[in-house]
C-alpha cells in the first residue's frame, strides 16, 4: 500500500515515491519527506521516469494506475521539496526565492577541491548508473505488464456469459478436426435503445442462424444460413434452467425454425439439437449474439464496408442510405442487418443476403492490417466480443476463445463461402409465409458439409489428394464369390450388422461374410479396411455398398473367426440401411452462393 493509500501524500504521484539508492543500485519506497541524503545524489528525474515507464506498461483495464505524465511527476518533486519536516517546521523558501538546486542538498558537505582529501564515496561511472537505471525500470515494467496482463485476462473472463450445451454438442471444437460452430442472432430487445424497435417482450428467438463449417485443413469454410421461417421438426430438449434444475421441453413437428429458441423456455442447446436433426451435422459449439453485438462489434473495428444497388429508406428497420458503397457501424449497422422490406422480394430470404454481405464485410475488416496492427482496436474488440456474445459452457474462457480465434484466423476469405439452405415456398399455404426444404438440393448441401467438401476451388494439392483417393476405386474387381469380409457395427442403428450380412449373402452373393458384432470404437463414417493383396476384393465390395474412395482404408491383413484373411467393414453413423449407397460427394452442389472476399451490392 503506497502513501496515497495511507492518506499521507497529497498530490504526490505514487511513482515518485520509488527512489534510487545510489549505494545499493535498488529502488526504495519513501513514504515520508526526504531527509538529507548522501553527498552523491542519484539522477534527479529517475523516479518519475521509472513511474512513467511502469504505468505505461500495464493496460488500464488491468487495474494498474496510469501515469500522471512528466508534468505531474515534476510537480510531485516540487511538493516533496516544500513539504513540512517531521517536527512541523515549514521548509518552503521565502517569497521571491527559488527552490535551491538539487545538485547539492542543504547540510551536505561540499565536494572536496583539488588537493584536498575527503572520505566521499567513489563516484559511480555513468555506465554503471545507466545499467542500474535500465535494470530497475525493466524489472518494474515487466512486473507491471505481467500483473496488468493477468488482471486484464481475468477481466475479460468475467465479461463472458455462458450457458450449458446440455449435451447437445460434440463437447467442443478440436484443433485437428473440422470445426462446426452454430452462430445464433436473436431478436431480443435488451440493451440501451433497443426497445424502440418494438416487440420489447420478445424471449429472443433464433432470428438469424448460421452453421459455420471450417474444413479440417483450414483451407476453406462454409457459412450456411438457415431461414427462420423454415418448417422443421424440433426434437425433445433437455435443458438446464436458470435455477440449475433440469427440464425436458417437449418437441414439436411442423413449426418455424426460429421457435427452437425462446419458445416454451427453449435454450440455445435446443436450437443446436434442431440443427443436428435438420442437417446431420452436430455442432461443436454455439455463440449467441443480440442487437448490441452488431452495434458494438462494428464500432470496435471502426465500421464495415457494404454496398447497395439502389436507394433504401426502410421505416421499419430505420435504414436510410443512398445506393453505392458505405461504411456503417453502430445503430446504422443494426438497421442494415434488420432490413428486409426494401430489398429483393421483401422477405426473410432477401434479408439473409444482406446479413451475409454484412458478415463478409466484418470478416474482411477483422482480418485487415488496419485492425490486426491496432492495439486500440484489438482491445476494443476483446471488450466488445466478450461482453456481446453468450457462448456454450465448453467455450467459457478467454483462452478457449483465443484458441478458436487462431483456428478461424487461418482462413483465407476467398475460400469462405456463404450460402443458404435450399428451400421452396410451403405448398400447404395459400398465402406464402413459410418455406420447406428443397428435397432435391438441400440433402446435397448437407452431405457436402458432412463430408468436408469445399464450395470453392482450393489448393491444387488438395485436388491431387482427392484424385489419389478416387483412384482406389479404379482397377480390376474380384468376383463376388472371392470377397471375404467381417462386418462390425460402429455406430449404426442396432441390428445393422446382421441386416447388412443377410443382404450381402442372399442378394449380392457375398457368401464369405460374417457378423463380427460391435466395433471397439464408434465411427462417424463407414469404412472398409483391407490389405494390399485384397484391393480387388475391396473394389468389388465398394461397388456393391456404394462406398467412396475415402471410405477405403488400405492397411494390414487380419483374420476372421476361421483364421482366414479377411477385410473389415465397419458401419458408421452415416449408415442408412442395407443397399443404400454411401458414396460421399466429392464436389459441392451448384447452389447460389457468395464468397467473403468480394463486395457485392444488395439489390
DSSP secondary structure of 276-325: HHHHS---SEEEEE-HHHHHHHHHHTT-EEEEESS-EEETTTTEEE-SEE
* Residue 466: predicted pLDDT: 61
Domain count along the chain: 3
Mean pLDDT along residues 255-259: 95
Per-residue pLDDT, averaged over 393-402, amounts to 89
The rounded distance, in Å, linking the Cα atoms of 400 and 477 is: 49
Is the pLDDT at 88 greater than 80? The verdict is no
pLDDT in tens, 399-421: 888 888 888 888 888 888 999 99
Backbone angles phi, psi at 85, to 5 degrees: -85, -175
Same domain, 527 and 446: no
- Assigned domain for 110 exists: no
Q: Which of 406, 432, 455 is the last residue of a domain?
A: 455
Q: What angle do CA 328, 333, 334 make, to 5 degrees?
A: 170
Query: What sign does the dihedral 525-531-535-541 (CA atoms) show?
Result: negative
Residue 82 is assigned to a structural domain of this protein? yes
The domain in which residue 41 lies consists of: 3-86+123-158
Residue-level pLDDT at 150? 66
Examine residue 197 and state whether it is found in any structural domain, yes or no: yes
Q: Please check whether residues 130 and 268 belong to one and the same domain.
A: no
What pLDDT does residue 249 have? 95
Q: Which of 417, 432, 455 is the last residue of a domain?
A: 455
The pTM score is 0.61
Average per-residue pLDDT in the chain? 76
pLDDT at 171 over 60: yes
Number of helices (H) and strands (E) in the chain: give both, helices first. 15, 26
- What is the per-residue pLDDT for 192? 52
Q: Are residues 181 and 287 in the same domain?
A: yes
Same domain, 412 and 509: no
The string of pLDDT tens digits covering residues 342-387 is 776 667 788 888 888 888 888 888 888 777 778 888 888 888 888 8
Q: At what angle do helices 375-388 and 291-300 cross, to 10 degrees?
A: 170
434-457, pLDDT tens digit by residue? Answer: 999 999 999 999 988 998 888 887
Residue 261 belongs to domain with CATH number: 3.40.630.190
Q: Render pLDDT for 12-69 as a digit per residue (tens, 0 to 9).
A: 444 445 555 666 555 555 544 444 444 444 444 444 434 444 444 443 333 333 333 3
**Assigned domain for 100 exists:** no
Do 418 and 483 sit in the same domain of this protein?
Answer: no
Is residue 313 very low, low, confident or very high in pLDDT (cuts 50, 70, 90)? Answer: confident
Residue 555 and residue 447 share a domain: no
**CATH number, domain with residue 486:** 3.30.70
The whole-number average pLDDT for the span 86-112 is 46
- The pLDDT tens digits for 529-586 are 999 999 999 999 998 988 888 888 888 889 999 999 999 999 998 898 888 877 666 5
Q: Which of 398, 423, 455 is the last residue of a domain?
A: 455
380 with 523, same domain? no
The tens digit of pLDDT for each residue in 121-136 reads 555 555 555 555 555 5
Burial class from Cβ neighbours inside 10 Å (0-12, 13-18, 19+) for residue 216 reads exposed
Residue 75 maps to a domain: yes
What is the structure's pLDDT at 100?
44
Local structure of residue 423 (DSSP, 8 states): E
Q: Are residues 253 and 329 in the same domain?
A: yes
Residues 179 and 316 in one domain: yes
Has residue 465 got a pLDDT over 70?
Answer: no
pLDDT at 107 over 60: no
More confident residue, 469 or 313: 313
The DSSP secondary-structure symbol of 83 reads: S
Question: What pLDDT, on the 0 to 100 scale, is given for residue 95?
Answer: 47
Question: So what's the pLDDT on residue 140?
Answer: 57
Give the phi and the psi of residue 435 in degrees, each rounded to 5.
Answer: -130, 160
Does residue 54 form part of some domain?
yes
Q: Within this chain, do residues 191 and 76 fall inside the same structural domain, yes or no?
A: no
pLDDT of residue 198: 43
- Verify that 306 and 427 share a domain, yes or no: yes
202 domain residue, yes or no: yes
* Domain identity same for 80 and 187: no
pLDDT of residue 68: 36
Domain membership flag for residue 245:
yes
The predicted structure's pLDDT at residue 603? 66
Model confidence at 489, pLDDT cuts 50, 70, 90, reads very high
Rounded to 10°, the helix 375-388/126-159 angle is 30
Amino acid at each position: 500500500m503506497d502513501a496515497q493509500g495511507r492518506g499521507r501524500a497529497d498530490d504526490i504521484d505514487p511513482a515518485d515515491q520509488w527512489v534510487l539508492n545510489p549505494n545499493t543500485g535498488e529502488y526504495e519506497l519513501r513514504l515520508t519527506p526526504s531527509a538529507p541524503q548522501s553527498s552523491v545524489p542519484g539522477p534527479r528525474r529517475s523516479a518519475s521516469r521509472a513511474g512513467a515507464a511502469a504505468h505505461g506498461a500495464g493496460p488500464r483495464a488491468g487495474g494498474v494506475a496510469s501515469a500522471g505524465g512528466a508534468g505531474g511527476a515534476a510537480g510531485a518533486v516540487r511538493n516533496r521539496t516544500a513539504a513540512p519536516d517531521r517536527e512541523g517546521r515549514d521548509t518552503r523558501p521565502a517569497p521571491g526565492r527559488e527552490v535551491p538546486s538539487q545538485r547539492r542538498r542543504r547540510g551536505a558537505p561540499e565536494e572536496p577541491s583539488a588537493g584536498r582529501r575527503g572520505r566521499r564515496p567513489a563516484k559511480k561511472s555513468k555506465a554503471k548508473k545507466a545499467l542500474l537505471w535500465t535494470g530497475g525500470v525493466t524489472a518494474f515494467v515487466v512486473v507491471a505488464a505481467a500483473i496488468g496482463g493477468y488482471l486484464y485476462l481475468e477481466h475479460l473472463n468475467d465479461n463472458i456469459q455462458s450457458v450449458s450445451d446440455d449435451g447437445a454438442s460434440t463437447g467442443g471444437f478440436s484443433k485437428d478436426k473440422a470445426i462446426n460452430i452454430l452462430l445464433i442472432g436473436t431478436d431480443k430487445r435488451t440493451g440501451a435503445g433497443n426497445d424502440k424497435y418494438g416487440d420489447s417482450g420478445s424471449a429472443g428467438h433464433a432470428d438469424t442462424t448460421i452453421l459455420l463449417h471450417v474444413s479440417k485443413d483450414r483451407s476453406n469454410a462454409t457459412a450456411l444460413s438457415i431461414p427462420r421461417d423454415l418448417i422443421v421438426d424440433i426434437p425433445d430438449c433437455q435443458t438446464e434452467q436458470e435455477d440449475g434444475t433440469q427440464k425436458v421441453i417437449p418437441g414439436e413437428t411442423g413449426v418455424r425454425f426460429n421457435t427452437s429458441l425462446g419458445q416454451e423456455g427453449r435454450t440455445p442447446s435446443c436450437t443446436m439439437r434442431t440443427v443436428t436433426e435438420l442437417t446431420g451435422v452436430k455442432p461443436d459449439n454455439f455463440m449467441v449474439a443480440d442487437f448490441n453485438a452488431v452495434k458494438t462489434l462494428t464500432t470496435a473495428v471502426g465500421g464495415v464496408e457494404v454496398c447497395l444497388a439502389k436507394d433504401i429508406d426502410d421505416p421499419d428497420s430505420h435504414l436510410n442510405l443512398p445506393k453505392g458503397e458505405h461504411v456503417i457501424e453502430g445503430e446504422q449497422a443494426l438497421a442494415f442487418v434488420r432490413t428486409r422490406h426494401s430489398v429483393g422480394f421483401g422477405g426473410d430470404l432477401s434479408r439473409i443476403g444482406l446479413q451475409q454481405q454484412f458478415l463478409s464485410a466484418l470478416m474482411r475488416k477483422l482480418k485487415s492490417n488496419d485492425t490486426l496492427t491496432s492495439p486500440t482496436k484489438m482491445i476494443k474488440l476483446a471488450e466488445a466480443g466478450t461482453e456481446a456474445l453468450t457462448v456454450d459452457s465448453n467455450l467459457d474462457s478467454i483462452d478457449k476463445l483465443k484458441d478458436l480465434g487462431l483456428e478461424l484466423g487461418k482462413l483465407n476469405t476467398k475460400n469462405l463461402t456463404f450460402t443458404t439452405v435450399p428451400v421452396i415456398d410451403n405448398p400447404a399455404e395459400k398465402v406464402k409465409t413459410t418455406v420447406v426444404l428443397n428435397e432435391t438440393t438441400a440433402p446435397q448441401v448437407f452431405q457436402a458439409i458432412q463430408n468436408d467438401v469445399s464450395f470453392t476451388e482450393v489448393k491444387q494439392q488438395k485436388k491431387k489428394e482427392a484424385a489419389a483417393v478416387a483412384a482406389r476405386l479404379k482397377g480390376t474387381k474380384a468376383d463376388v464369390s472371392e470377397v471375404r469380409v467381417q462386418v462390425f457395427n460402429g455406430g449404426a442403428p442396432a441390428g445393422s450388422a446382421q441386416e447388412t450380412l443377410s443382404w450381402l449373402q442372399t442378394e449380392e452373393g457375398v457368401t464369405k461374410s460374417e457378423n463380427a458384432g460391435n466395433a471397439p470404437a464408434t465411427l462417424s463414417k463407414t469404412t472398409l479396411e483391407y490389405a494390399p493383396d485384397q484391393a480387388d476384393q475391396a473394389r468389388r465390395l465398394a461397388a456393391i455398398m456404394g462406398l467412396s474412395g475415402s471410405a477405403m482404408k488400405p492397411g494390414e491383413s487380419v483374420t476372421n473367426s476361421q483364421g482366414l484373411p479377411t477385410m473389415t467393414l465397419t458401419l458408421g453413423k452415416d449408415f442408412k440401411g442395407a443397399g443404400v449407397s454411401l458414396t460421399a460427394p466429392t464436389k459441392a452442389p451448384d447452389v447460389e452462393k457468395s464468397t467473403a472476399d468480394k463486395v457485392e451490392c444488395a439489390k
